[in-house]
Structure 1
């Protein structure tokens, strides 16, 4: 099993939880995501992109990271190109760090849909800013999550959802159909051990974990 962390250009808060999640993973930075390497105390094995968003005053160790340069006019974002490279190098699991927020809302939304596509293709993918996490939810058996009681979470549907079950929550659900665009599953809280199951549809669990 080969786990890769992709450093993207969105928001980042370093937390002990995030440190644990990325420990031992291979690191690839996508353009401005290189700035997160300094925050996290990491040296990526590769830095990719068109380099139109290079941060100022990078430490010498990061300036020396091997690069793979792409043209500005291209069919994929720097982040997706970094994911492609990780997959070619044998990635079986991905953590997209800096996936939320940042100056480009379109990129942040793309990271959500990209993670869903990767999960559908058999590549478990976690999105994180340190303060927030995103986990794709696809049809199948119930998934369990290690969030502490009191953790705020939402289930964000990317389609109509059929037979959604949420256990271990302040507001549990049992085999509920949720229309696309409904706010029914926004702003819940963990109570005990959170389990979520979905019969049909695609969604994203967005959680605000304890550090």
Structure 2
């Protein structure tokens, strides 16, 4: 099985859609991300990190295998969890609890990691039950089925070339945007949307209504 969910420390809402997505995957928890195991109804096959923010465990979760690291390391706990999943055969990565939370730098790091592994050829998504993120690959259209009125944004990490947005209240066709532009903030889906970039790095971030039926193609 090559589909993995990585439990990270950010907040989640255990909606039916999130529960269904995680239930189909092997699970690795990164440090404080273990607190999501109970609400999601999963038992991770491994728990990694320096455990400086690890929650207490009870019952069957106490038996989860641990892989401990020093706090003086050059990787984040989330990065270690992702690398470990890849070592165990991961081809698809669902990052759960990657967005929001008390540490904005952690959320930023998770977005960067999502871009890194997507560029390396892995299928990467971020989903916490409230928001979902999808790295955009140059030259590969991204289609997202959303309910009409769903807000979404394109978060840029570089200048973008050839950006097109279809199916939205504010469509675009093949435009170039500098990194400093906020033109792609707070668009609105009219239904299914299609995003395409020709060059650059960006992530599509969409809101999810509780238990909204959505899918990626």
Instruction: Say yes or no: TM over 0.5.
Output: yes
Could you tell me how far 1:152 is from its partner in structure 2? 0.8
Q: How does 1:164-179 map to 2 (within 5 A)?
A: 164-179=163-178
CA distance in 2, matches of 1:20, 1:190: 24
1:50 aligns with 2:55: no
Q: Secondary structure at the match of 2:147?
A: coil
| 1:52-88: CA deviation from partner (whole Å, max 9, x where unpaired) | 11124x3221122111111111110111000010000
Shift, 1:104, TM fit? 1.6
Task: Number of aligned residue pairs: give it.
Answer: 210
Match of 2:117 in 1: 118
Q: Tell me, which stretches of 5 or more residues in structure 1 are unaligned?
A: none
Whether 1:195 and 2:188 are equivalent positions in the alignment is no
SS at match of 2:28: strand
Q: Distance in 2 between matches of 1:71 and 1:91?
A: 25
Which residue in the other structure is 2:21 paired with? 21
1:153-207 deviations in Å (ceiling 9; x for gaps) = 0001111111100001011111111110211000011112110111111101010
2: CA distance between counterparts of 1:23 and 1:189?
Answer: 30
Shift of 1:141: 2.9
For 2:43 and 2:88, the matched residues in 1 are separated by: 18
| Aligned positions of 1:58-207 closer than 5 A | 58-207=57-206
SS in 2 for 1:74: coil
What secondary structure is seen at the aligned counterpart in 2 of 1:153? strand
Task: Give the TM-score taking structure 1 as reference length.
Answer: 0.96
Name the CA distance, whole Å, in 1 between partners of 2:173 and 2:50.
Answer: 47
Deviation at 1:34, TM superposition (A): 0.3
Could you say what the CA RMSD is over the residues aligned between the two structures, in angstroms? 1.1
Q: After TM superposition, which residue ranges in structure 1, 4 or more long, deviate above 4 angstroms? A: none
Q: Is the 8 A contact 2:166 2:172 kept in 1?
A: yes
Quote the Cα distance in structure 2 between the aligned partners of 1:141 and 1:34.
Answer: 34
Question: In the TM superposition, what is the alpha-carbon distance from 1:38 to its structure 2 partner?
Answer: 0.9
